[in-house]
Amino acid sequence: MSRADSAAHRGRAGITPASAQLWSLLGLGLALATVAPIAWMFVTTFKSGADVFSLGAPHHLTLSNLVYVFTQVDFLRFLFNTFIVSSAVTVVAIVLHSMAGYALARLRFPGREIIFLAMFSTFLVSLPVIIVPLFLVVKTLGLLDSYGGLIIPSVFNAFGIFLLRQFYLGVPRELEEAAIMDGAGYWQIYRSIILPLSRPILSSLAILFFLANWNAFLWPLTVTNSKSLWVVQVAIVSFQGQYSGSWNYVIAASSVVTVPTILLFLLFQRNIIESIKTSGLK
């Protein structure tokens, strides 16, 4: 940022350098308080069994939990499964939902409002309520115990459609109208104008979809039986044994599972900033 830029930026909305620093300090304090519980999780990963719940300093630190997680359990396989499922759902969902959101916001076609309301009403029902009928539907389609059963039902969720529709409603029309008058087809408009414009929101959504599927538990547990299809959350929960706990493995596994998502988030969130700089609106 240039000197002039930063001066204008700081001057924006009347924030003085001093109060800016105060806000930064407050923000930092709040952030540290937010992640303190998570820091506890990372520290506890290296504690041994009985020490997990004792609140003093650990008697000795050990790598055995991590070793166990990776050697005694096929954890890499579960990480791979989860990655495949989450990525597939994210990619498909982003494409389909941005198309649908754009159509619902901008394109006029018969029955548009009714379709939107119908789609939205599916949003009001959560998994625990429809899990039995959904299981029946998936079973009838022959998708039980397969990657398809894990991926396909998870793609269709009205949340993304709704958010993107709201977003596209707020995008000024000039660009599209000019393109239409130039004779551009709708698919072209979508690809060349709409998609680049929606990069910030799509990036955010990609993170959210990926995370939601990375942490999904109830559906993967219900639809799969084979151990080779396990996702990480099912694996983590399976560490808890009847009457023996093994929380040190649970926490170690959770730490392992959290690291990739942090990395991905760091990767994507810079994308959000960059795309603002290059956005066609400025």
Partner 1 sequence: MVQDSFAAGRRGTALPTRRQILTSAGLGTLALATPALATPALARADRPTLSFWQFYAPGGPVAAQAQWFEDVVAKWNASNDVKVTLEYVPNDQYMNGSKLQTAFASGSGPDLFLISPGDFLRYGNARMLLDLTPYIDAAAQRDFPEQVMATRKIAGRIYGIPMEVEPMAMYYSLAAFEKAGLGEADIPKDWDALLALGKKLTTHNRFGLLFETTPGYYQNFTWYPFLWQGGGGIQKDGKSSFNGAAAVQALQLWQESVASGAAPRKLLGGGAWDIVPNLASGYCAMQNCGIWGISALRSNAPSFRYGVFPLPVPKGGRPVTVGGGWAFVANARGRDPETAGRFCAWALASTKPDSVQRVADWCTRAKSDMPPRTSVFAAASAAYGSGLLKLFKDEIYPTVRGEPRVPPQVYKIISDAIQECQLGGRSPEQQAASASQQIDDYLATYSGAPII
Partner 2 sequence: MTRSAEGSTEVAAGPPRRRRVTSQRRREQIAGALFVLPDLLGLLVFAGLPMMLAVVLGFFAVDGFGGYRFVGLANYRRMLHDALFLQSLRVTLLYVVLLVPSLYLSGFALALLVQRRSVLSGLLRTLFFLPQMISLVVVAIIWQVLLVDKIGLVSRLSALLGVHNLSWLGDPRLALYAVVFISVWFLMGFYMLIFLGGLQDIPREYYDAARMDGASAWASLRYITLPLLKPTSFFVLLVSTVAAVAGGQAFDLIYVMTKGGPANATALAIYYIYQQAFQYNEFGYGCAMATVLVVILMALTLLLFAFTRGGRFEQG
Q: Which residues pair with 245 in a beta bridge?
A: 241
Per DSSP, 245 falls in state B
Q: Binder to partner 2 among 69, 85, 155, 206 (CB under 8 A)?
A: 155
Q: Using the minimum distance from each CB to partner 2, give the nearer residue, 105 or 229.
A: 105
Does the protein bind partner 1 through residue 275 (CB under 8 A)?
Answer: yes
> For residues 150 and 234, what is the distance between their CA atoms, to the nearest angstrom?
13
CA distance 10 to 269: 22
Contact status: 79 vs partner 2 (CB under 8 A): no
Q: What is the distance between the alpha carbons of residues 78 and 172, in angstroms, rounded to a whole number?
A: 44
Rounded to the nearest 5°, which phi and psi values hold at 144?
-65, 145
For position 6 contacting partner 1 by CB under 8 A, the verdict is no
Closest CA to 249 of 239, 241, 235: 239
Site string for partner 1, 197-216 (x = CB under 8 A): --x--x---x----------
Nearer to partner 2, 170 or 241 (CB): 170
Contact call for residues 203 and 128 (beta carbons, < 8 A) = no
Exactly one of 2, 3, 4, 14 binds partner 2 (CB under 8 A); that residue is: 14
Residue 142 in contact with partner 2, rule: CB under 8 A:
no
Chain residues 153-182 in contact with partner 1, contact rule CB under 8 A:
174-175, 178-179, 182
| Minimum distance from residue 224 beta carbon to partner 2 (Å) | 16
Q: For the segment 105-144, give every residue that binds partner 1 (CB under 8 A).
A: 128, 131-132, 135-136, 139, 142-144
The item of partner 1, partner 2, none sharing an interface with residue 242, based on CB under 5 to 8 Å by kind, is partner 1
Task: Please check whether residue 158 is in contact with residue 120, taking contact to mean a CB–CB distance below 8 angstroms.
Answer: yes
| Binding string, residues 181-220; x marks residues near partner 2 by CB under 8 A | xx--xxx--x---------xx--x--xx--x--xx-xx--
* 234 touching partner 1, by CB under 8 A: yes
Stretch that binds partner 1, among 15-23, 25-33, 47-55, 254-262 (CB under 8 A): 47-55
CA distance 224 to 153: 13
The 3-state DSSP class for residue 241 equals: strand
Going by C-alpha positions, the residue among 252, 216, 209, 267 that lies closest to residue 81 is 216
Total interface residues for partner 2 by CB under 8 A: 114
Task: Give the position of tokens 């709704």.
Answer: 162
From 37-45, 84-92, 156-164, 252-260, span contacting partner 1 (CB under 8 A): 84-92
Q: Which of left, alpha, beta for 266 (phi over 0: left; psi -120 to 50: alpha)?
A: alpha
Binding at 122: pick from partner 1, partner 2, none (beta carbon under 5-8 Å per type): partner 2
